[in-house]
Amino acid sequence: MPGKTLPVNPKLAGVPDVEIGGTGVFKYILCKIYEGANTTDFKYIVRGAPSAEFHADIYDVLDAQLESEGIMCECVGGGKIEHDPDAKTIRIFGKSQGYGRANHEVSMQILRDKFPAYHSVMWTND
């Protein structure tokens, strides 16, 4: 039916789309989250941490947090983010050795929605 919108799962809606911290270059992951075994009702989220040595460090913290809320988390890839909040720019690039390259285009759209006042949110295949 045209114009029909699907109801939003309140558990998934309660999970922030983006949590990245700091300035500079750091690792990030793109994850698909869903409730229980219902993998058809999902959303993608972006997480980045300047303190993470490995992409799995970010995933382990996120997975434990979401699991306690009954939300399943699947890492679909990773890379790096170069974040300059003063210049209002974000560059997404690279890949995770363990999870492979995230779909940077999906990550870019999520970050653009989170930071609409930024001058540039882009990705490259570097």
Condensed to tens digits (0 to 9), the pLDDT of residues 73-117 reads 999 999 999 999 999 999 999 999 999 999 999 999 999 999 999
Q: For 30-43, what is each residue's pLDDT tens digit?
A: 999 999 888 888 99
Q: What is the DSSP letter of 86?
A: T
- Cα(101)–Cα(72) distance, integer angstroms: 21
Q: Look up residue 20 and give its two tokens.
A: 């990245």
Q: Look up residue 91 and give its two tokens.
A: 């560059």
Does the pLDDT at position 1 exceed 50?
Answer: no
Q: Which residues pair with 6 in a beta bridge?
A: none
Task: Catalogue the active-site residues.
Answer: 55
Higher pLDDT, 72 or 8: 72
Per the document, the length of the chain is: 126
